[in-house]
Homo-oligomer: A and B are copies of this chain.
Amino acid sequence: MRRAIATVSLSGMLREKLQAAAAARFDAVEIFENDLLQFPGSPRDVRSICEDLGLGIDLFQPFRDYDAPGATQLARNLDRAERKFDLMQELGTQMILVCSNVQPDAVADPAVLAEQFAQLAERAGRRGMRIAYEALAWGTQVKLWKQAWDVVRRVDHPHLGLALDSFHTLALRDDPTDIAQLPGDKIFFMQLADAPWVATDVLTHSRHYRCFPGQGELEVARFTRAALDAGYDGPLSLEIFNDEFRAAPARSNAVDAMRSLLWLEEQVRLDRAAEAARKPLLAPTRKVALFDPPPPARLDGWSFIEFAVDPAAGVVLAQWLARAGFVRMGRHRSKQVDLYGQGDVRIVLNLEADSFARSHFEAHGPSVCAVALAGADPAVAVARAEALLCPRAIGRIGQNELAIPAVRAPDGSLIYFCGTTQDGHPPFEADFVLDAGVDVAGAFGPGAAVDHLVHAVPAGQVEPWTLFSRAVLGLVPERNVVLHDPYGVIRSREFESADKAVRLAVTMSERENTSVARSVARQRGAGLQQIAVAVPDLVATARRLKALGAPLLPIPDNYYDDVLAKHDVEPGLLAAMRELGILYDREPDGAEFLQLYLLPYEERFHIELVERRGGYAGYGTANAPFRLAAMAQWRDGLPRLAVAA
């Protein structure tokens, strides 16, 4: 497929936008009119910049409010169109998007509309231009693609066709199925956008909430497939704008855009393949080459978590880990890297000078520079990531050591892909000289394993992580929740593998004094904020941690009075929870969740311990205000941090 992007999707000035689109390997752009009007040079200059960058200009857009209630206004609008044709000629593009009229006096009668569009098509034809007519979801009269198609069909002119936009159709919950029945050559252009479902009007929805396919909840693949089934073989073009993207760096956003298109093509291909498997006798649909990356690899869980430290910070962090019950298991065979363990949780402290970890430490201070996912086929996982434009990271490997493949996560940290654990030992342990006789059951107890990880990110980074988690890692986006920190709202998005072996949350706060924003500020950009470990018996673990002198987050007594008022909790358990600071939640089906927090390392990251009973599926959202308030209470005892300093 030819892959395109509208310049309105990228932030900054036109030249930057074009450079970003070319660098992300787009074939073409749609030139958004305002970008051109703002450009301090001629349309011919824009044309030559695009030529230099190898970018086609596939569309000029938008031309608004064409149809008119009277002849005078129509004549004016035709004049206006001619002026735009002049400009398009200089620009070297042949197609203009005309969107349905949003003025109160827009033409309602399809026959009149057809008559007026026939005139426009005729004018366009004379100039060698093509009109792609789009039904805006908030058009006064024409809102649906079928209405626009009715006009195109009536006019039946080679220079008039349809522009389809997934948002306009799907956001109205209009059905795209019949698009597959259209003559493919009458679909002149395809614009693609996703969006989350938001309770608002469709115009606000479009202006502020569009996102790249895969970041939202619309059935963009289904929509796209219908057009391809119709025989459309023109560009797939992203037209996305939202409040975050308008401020996102154009370069990385363009790469995300391309990643989303590639992923979308894969979804369409898989959908067709699944249907072909179900209905083997059906004639194959017309074909364009769709992106075909390696499939997502099955993931078994988190294999290890690697902290970047220098020798001084390493001592402090090692003490912090020891207080949380971790024991030192050994040292890397060739590097200044220590391994700590507890239950099945593995933590690596990387003290190696002149390494990726050290650069990460210099940029972010003591923080997680890498996490490792376990799975049967690391090579496939990395190949998929690379195919989806995630750069592979290559580190130094000693003789006879494992080459653990890794890719860059959206925040620049690494994600390793390791083989599956065998006999309780993850394969990467082979690179370590393990101390003899170390008991790693620790306070967590045998079988303790990472339940989920939480990344704290700045504004604008949730969407890139969504696409990365979904497209690259093959996780499924789950809940989107709002949490109340005493100093502002926190938003959190959860991602899980289908079998729940891997759980990941991404959390963001635009208010500078929340726990999340302060972790982001401390870590100078983004960073892992929480390691949640599932243990088989949280009360027992908590008692062992307490005996060890672990710094447990104190929870106020009042909280437990309310737990008792709300839930029938067995008095012994309630007393234990009250004593140890364990939080409690119960789902309507009786599934229970116990949570315990250790005090954070500085305000950077912390450990949570959880016990899931009876298949509890969530993350204890109901308890978030209490643990966030308890964190804030603890923090008030700390010296004040100058945020963003």
| Chain A contacts to B: CB under 8 angstroms | 11-13, 33-34, 36-43, 79-80, 83-84, 87, 198-201, 204, 207, 243, 246-247, 459, 482, 484-489, 510-514, 554, 556-559, 561-562, 564-566, 625-626, 629-630, 632-633, 636, 644
Chain B residue numbers with a CB within 8 Å of A13 are: 486, 629, 632-633, 636
Among candidates B41, B511, B512, B633, residue contacting A40 with C-beta atoms closer than 8 Å:
B633
**How many chain copies does the complex carry?**
2
Chain B residue numbers with a CB within 8 Å of A565 are: 79-80, 83-84
Closest to A11 in B: B487
Chain B residue numbers with a CB within 8 Å of A243 are: 488-489, 510-511
Q: Can you report 6 residue pairs joining A to B where beta carbons are below 8 Å apart?
A: A12-B487, A38-B556, A43-B558, A83-B564, A243-B489, A247-B514
Cβ-defined contact, A489 with B247, below 8 A = yes
Among candidates B42, B199, B484, B559, residue contacting A204 with C-beta atoms closer than 8 Å:
B199
- How far is the CB of A519 from the nearest CB of chain B, in Å? 16
Among candidates B37, B484, B513, residue contacting A562 with C-beta atoms closer than 8 Å:
B37
4 nearest CB pairs, A to B: A247-B488, A247-B511, A38-B629, A199-B201
Closest to A202 in B: B199
- How far is the CB of A387 from the nearest CB of chain B, in Å? 32
Chain B residue numbers with a CB within 8 Å of A486 are: 11-13, 38
Cα–Cα, bound, A2→B511 (Å)? 33
Chain B residue numbers with a CB within 8 Å of A40 are: 554, 556, 630, 633
Q: Contacts A562-B33, A626-B38; is A489 near B200 (CB within 8 Å)?
A: no
Cβ-defined contact, B488 with A246, below 8 A = yes
Chain B residue numbers with a CB within 8 Å of A79 are: 565
Q: Contacts A629-B38, A644-B644; is A510 near B83 (CB within 8 Å)?
A: no
Q: Determine which residue in A487, A558, A625 has the highest number of CB atoms from chain B within 10 A of its CB, and name it.
A: A558
Chain B residue numbers with a CB within 8 Å of A633 are: 13, 38, 40
Q: Contacts A38-B630, A562-B37, A565-B80; is A510 near B459 (CB within 8 Å)?
A: yes
Cα–Cα, bound, A13→B637 (Å)? 13
Among candidates B201, B559, B636, residue contacting A37 with C-beta atoms closer than 8 Å:
B559
Cα–Cα, bound, A554→B40 (Å)? 9
Cβ-defined contact, B246 with A511, below 8 A = yes
Cβ-defined contact, B556 with A246, below 8 A = no
Cα–Cα, bound, A630→B214 (Å)? 34
Cα–Cα, bound, A200→B180 (Å)? 33
- How far is the CB of A280 from the nearest CB of chain B, in Å? 45
Closest to A588 in B: B103
Closest to A636 in B: B13
Cα–Cα, bound, A198→B199 (Å)? 10
Cα–Cα, bound, A43→B79 (Å)? 75
Among candidates B41, B83, B556, B566, residue contacting A561 with C-beta atoms closer than 8 Å:
B83
Cβ-defined contact, B246 with A484, below 8 A = yes
Chain B residue numbers with a CB within 8 Å of A246 are: 484-485, 487-489, 511
Cα–Cα, bound, A512→B11 (Å)? 13
Closest to A77 in B: B565
Closest to A510 in B: B510
Cα–Cα, bound, A270→B284 (Å)? 76
- How far is the CB of A268 from the nearest CB of chain B, in Å? 32
Cα–Cα, bound, A201→B43 (Å)? 44
20 extra A-B contacts, CB within 8 A, seeds A13-B486, A87-B558? A33-B562, A37-B558, A37-B626, A38-B486, A38-B558, A38-B625, A39-B558, A40-B630, A41-B556, A198-B200, A199-B200, A200-B200, A207-B482, A246-B484, A246-B488, A247-B487, A247-B488, A247-B489, A247-B511, A247-B512
Chain B residue numbers with a CB within 8 Å of A204 are: 199
- How far is the CB of A403 from the nearest CB of chain B, in Å? 39
Chain B residue numbers with a CB within 8 Å of A80 are: 565-566
- How far is the CB of A138 from the nearest CB of chain B, in Å? 11
Closest to A491 in B: B243
Q: Determine which residue in A80, A482, A556, A565 has the highest number of CB atoms from chain B within 10 A of its CB, and name it.
A: A565
Closest to A38 in B: B629
Among candidates B11, B41, B562, B629, residue contacting A488 with C-beta atoms closer than 8 Å:
B11
Chain B residue numbers with a CB within 8 Å of A199 are: 200-201, 204
Chain B residue numbers with a CB within 8 Å of A33 are: 562
Cα–Cα, bound, A632→B11 (Å)? 12
Chain B residue numbers with a CB within 8 Å of A11 are: 486-488
Cα–Cα, bound, A390→B11 (Å)? 40
Q: Contacts A486-B12, A632-B13; is A561 near B626 (CB within 8 Å)?
A: no
